[in-house]
Structure 1
Amino acid sequence: MLAARPEEHRRLLHAFLNAASAGDARTLVELLADDAVMVADGGTEGRVVGGIRNLPRPLHGAARITAFVVAATARRGIALQVEEHELNGQPAIVFWTEDRRPFAALLLAVADGKIQRIFFHADADRLRHLGPGITHG
């Protein structure tokens, strides 16, 4: 696998976010590797948003991930602000509540021009270090 340059990583991150926000299943499938894996970590208590609970185990395959993402984004439960930041040395998206508390972080593993892995971290305990003082990367 050939790892993506930061510009390609950023392009795929924003394309994924835009397609997910629009419920664009066709584009999501095109962005994902056929054997892509999605991991959603809502912490020990889990997280429920819009009536959908975080995934209890990794989700495998572009079609299954797309179906989950489209269903989850169609049932938005709260208004969130979206900002790009650098996390773990890569472009990432941080979702903030209206009172500037970190709600979730979206990170991708990208190679060969496709999204290979999606990591959606929504564990409030693990996100505390982001705090309202995080700076853009």
Structure 2
Amino acid sequence: MKPPDSNPADVFDPLRPRLLRIAYRMLGIVAEAEDVVQEAYLRWHQTNRDVVRDAEAVLVRTVTRLCLDVLKSARVRREEYVGTWLPEPILETVEGDDLTLTLMMALERLSPLERAAFLLHDVFGMDFEQVAKALDRAPAACRQLASRARDHVQEARPRFPVTEAKGHELASAFHAASRSGDTQALQALLAQDAILYADGGGKVKAVLNPIYGREKLVRFFEGVWRIPAVGSAQLVHEGTIDGLPAYVTMDPDGMLQTTAFAIEDGRIVALYVTRNPDKLKGIRRAVVGESS
């Protein structure tokens, strides 16, 4: 007979990083993901663990269902969100998967069940029997959910991606051009149909609606250059944010901004700018070494 598991943390803690990754990919907000995982731990603590054969399956199911509950209210909050909503930026591709910020934006347009089925199967490698138990749906239904999501995500994947080194080279070149006011350099870096998304959340100044097209973007940056703080913003980090080449800058007043780039065929096709300070607390701790 199996001895009772007296310490729930002994099983839970090794699984916590995976559970956090699932919750973050589902929700796009680190704090909400951490809350969900903590709630899962409390429930695990109250579970009769002696009868559990597969702790990971039980915990993934718990986290997934908690995330689905959060998404019900999150959809309403995001409809009321001021301006464009972007996932909270995290440094590097922690999961080692290829689900970039661009693809996370594509997931935002799916139903919560489609998103969950796709993430659990395609990203985290669970078979459809396991996905079915997590979602309380038939395996065939989960297969259809994941298929619909996969088609949608496939449309957002770059057809002609660039190497990681080239991506960082273009990001660095954009930063230099955006500081110097070199419009010709900007035009050379941007694709004709490039898009800029900015997330200020109503907390700080940011464009409320996406800006479409190279010419409009160049005119936008021409206006930005007239703002004194832009030229004196300090580059504090260059690297990867949610799988995309990116950098972090700090204004003279201490305001942080992340800028990430989707690049295809050697040109920037999308810029993702996050300025909402609520979403930059983790970035501030990581690159500045201080809490908000």
Tell me the TM-score normalized by structure 2.
0.41
User: Mean alpha-carbon deviation: is it higher for 74-83 or for 115-124?
Assistant: 74-83
Structure 2 SS opposite 1:104? strand
Give the secondary structure class of the aligned counterpart of 1:86. strand
Distance in 2 of aligned mates of 1:22 and 1:97: 16
Offset at 1:102? 5.6
Per mean C-alpha deviation after superposition, the further-off stretch among 63-72 and 85-94 is 85-94
Distance 2:163 2:170 in 1: 11
Tell whether the 8 Å contact from 2:256 to 2:275 is kept in structure 1 after alignment.
yes
Q: 1:21 aligns with which of 161, 179, 196?
A: 179
User: Which structure dedicates a bigger proportion of its chain to strand?
Assistant: 1
- Structure 1 residue identity aligned to 2:170: L
Tell me, in whole angstroms, the C-alpha distance in 2 between the residues paired with 1:39 and 1:76. 22
Q: 1:131, CA displacement in angstroms? A: 2.1
Q: SS where residue 4 of structure 1 aligns?
A: coil
5+ residue gaps, structure 1, are 48-53
Within 1, Cα distance between the matches of 2:249 and 2:285?
11
**2-structure distance, mates of 1:70, 1:97:** 18
2:210 matches 1:58: yes
Aligned match of 2:247: 93
Question: After alignment, is 25-34 or 78-87 more displaced?
Answer: 78-87
SS, match of residue 105 in structure 1 = strand
Q: Is the 8 A contact 2:203 2:277 kept in 1?
A: no
Query: 2:279 aligned to 116, 126, 130, which one?
Result: 126
Query: Do the aligned partners of residues 44 and 134 (structure 1) sit closer, same or farther apart at CA in structure 2, a change above 3 Å counting?
Result: same
TM-score by length of 1: 0.83
1:27: Cα distance to partner?
Answer: 1.1
Counterparts of 2:179 and 2:261 in 1: how far apart (Å)? 16
Question: Which has the bigger relative contact order, CA under 8 A and spacing at least 6?
Answer: 1
Identify the match of residue 103 of structure 1 among 241, 244, 256: 256
Deviates more, 1:76-85 or 1:111-120: 76-85
Q: CA deviation at 1:60?
A: 0.4
**Pairwise CA distance, 1:70:** 2.2
More helix by share: 2
C-alpha contact 1:84 1:92 (8 A) present in aligned 2? yes
Question: What CA distance in whole angstroms lies between the structure 1 residues aligned with 2:265 and 2:210?
Answer: 21
Superposition CA RMSD, Å: 2.0
Q: In 1, Cα distance between the equivalents of 2:266 and 2:194? A: 12
* Equivalent residues of 1:24, 1:70 under 8 A apart: no
Q: One-letter code of the match for 1:112?
A: D
Structure 2 unaligned runs (5+)? 1-158
Q: Distance in 2 between matches of 1:45 and 1:132?
A: 19
Query: Is the partner of 1:67 in helix, strand or coil?
Result: helix
Matched, 1:31 2:189: yes
